[in-house]
Structure 1
Amino acid sequence: MPSPAAPTVVGVLLAAGLSRRLGQPKQLVVLAGRPLVWHSARAMLDAVPSGGVLVVVPPGPLGAQVRAALAGLDLRFTESPAPELGISESFRAAIRALPPHTGAASFALGDMPLVSAAMHRSVLDAYAGTNAPLVLARFDTGGGAVRAPPHLFRADLFAHFDQIGDHGPRQLIAEYAAQSEWIELPGWALRDLDTPEDIAGMEAALLERADSGS
């Protein structure tokens, strides 16, 4: 008998933030010749999730600009209708837009372009090897490990994404912690972009990663 097909896993890039601290749309900040969100989307695509990549964008003109910044990449899009309410709205917008029969979704943040395709792939491989309800990433910063996306959630957990505000489903992570599969990622990949002072450092880090081939 043929073996059953592996569950479809969709990569989800959350890119609907309003960049209040930065004062300009961080998705569109040009780093190493490309918009920041392009680097994040390219890395997730290159990990080749079986269900493709879905990008959550803001509504209106900013959403149109983010889509334009990603033109030419094989992506699907959906809008977070109220990004001002926090990232919890983006999680739920993504879940509503997932294709039928999705087995799991791996969520990543659009402002963490140092998370590489190999790092995304390690999340997908951990799920494929364990069917764990959660695959969580832990970044070793030297001062202690920090939990941060990418995080993968199995489809049976989607109905419980009922958090409100600017954070992910902490209650699910706490409830299923003992059943979670963990992957370890380097602390330098945790870097994100929140202030104008961060831009030069992020660009240097991206160029260094490109030069090293990592």
Structure 2
Amino acid sequence: MTVAGLLLAAGAGRRMGTPKALVELGGEPLVARALRALQDAGCTPRVVVVGADADRAAAAARDADPEALVVTASAWEQGMGESLRTGLAALPDVDAVLVLLVDTPGIGPVALARVAAAATPGDIVRGAYDGRPGHPVVFGRDHLAAVAAAAHDDVGARGYLAGRDDVRAVEVGDVATRDDVDTPADLARVSSDRAQEG
């Protein structure tokens, strides 16, 4: 099974005040943390989609993972759907694609590897937190064209996932947190949690 890693990191981070790809946690940009997690989880190839402040975000991505393919979503302002379509179009032929959002730093390589290990070309697999579905999401090859067709605006893959009864959940709540880092307050909370754990 070849499971690619697709990192969506194109947003402007309006509530954060800066593109979230470039937000630093523990002295490291979120885009670098996420790419390292995908690499450590064994996802290959790895594609990262940038948009806002694309040159700086791309440089941070390449510094972190020279083997990653960095692509720019030209219409990233339209939302996550455009980023997802851009990333899927850039992928070579793979068995499955694990989609990770750059603003979920609590999802590390152990959780990613666990979800990726459950993938097959015909399946959709989601990480779950105490039974509640969340990220990451792995789409088997058989779903990729339909996911791309359904992605629009800021919906991403939600429309494709909504109401489906064939999505398998893999519990990762014991090794990951589902929190998004959307605001400076979120970042401060995550930084504080990390400091307490350390």
TM category, shorter: 0.7 to 0.9
| CA–CA distance in structure 2, aligned partners of residues 86 and 19 of structure 1 | 11
Root mean square deviation, CA, Å:
2.0
> In the alignment, residue 189 of structure 1 is paired with which amino acid?
T
Q: What is the CA deviation profile of residues 77-131 of structure 1, one whole-angstrom value per residue up to 9, with x for unaligned ones?
A: 11111111110111100111001x2121110100111101000001111115xx5
Instruction: Decide whether aligned partners of structure 1 residues 58 and 102 sit closer, same or farther in structure 2, where only a CA change above 3 A counts.
Output: same
Residue 111 of structure 2 corresponds to: 119
1:65 aligns with 2:61: no
Q: Is 82-91 or 184-193 further displaced after alignment? A: 184-193
Q: Work out whether residues 4 and 94 of structure 2, in 8 Å CA contact, stay in contact via their aligned partners in 1.
A: yes
Gapped runs of 5+ residues in structure 2?
none
**TM norm structure 1:** 0.82
Residue 139 of structure 1 corresponds to: 129
| CA–CA distance in structure 1, aligned partners of residues 122 and 114 of structure 2 | 14
Structure 2 residue corresponding to 1:151, chosen from 137, 157, 164: 137
* Percent pairwise identity: 32
Gapped runs of 5+ residues in structure 1?
1-5
Q: What is the CA deviation profile of residues 113-164 of structure 1, one whole-angstrom value per residue up to 9, with x for unaligned ones?
A: 1101000001111115xx5420112223xxxx54222101112212212232
SS in 2 for 1:45: helix
1:32 aligns with 2:26: yes
Alignment of 1:194-213 (within 5 A): 194-208=182-196, 211=198
Instruction: Decide whether aligned partners of structure 1 residues 193 and 88 sit closer, same or farther in structure 2, where only a CA change above 3 A counts.
Output: same
Residue 79 of structure 1 corresponds to: 72
| CA–CA distance in structure 1, aligned partners of residues 104 and 38 of structure 2 | 11
> In the alignment, residue 95 of structure 2 is paired with which amino acid?
G
**TM norm structure 2:** 0.88
Shift of 1:72: 4.1
Instruction: Decide whether aligned partners of structure 1 residues 202 and 178 sit closer, same or farther in structure 2, where only a CA change above 3 A counts.
Output: same
> In the alignment, residue 66 of structure 1 is paired with which amino acid?
A
| CA–CA distance in structure 1, aligned partners of residues 60 and 122 of structure 2 | 34
Shift of 1:185: 2.1
Residue 106 of structure 1 corresponds to: 98
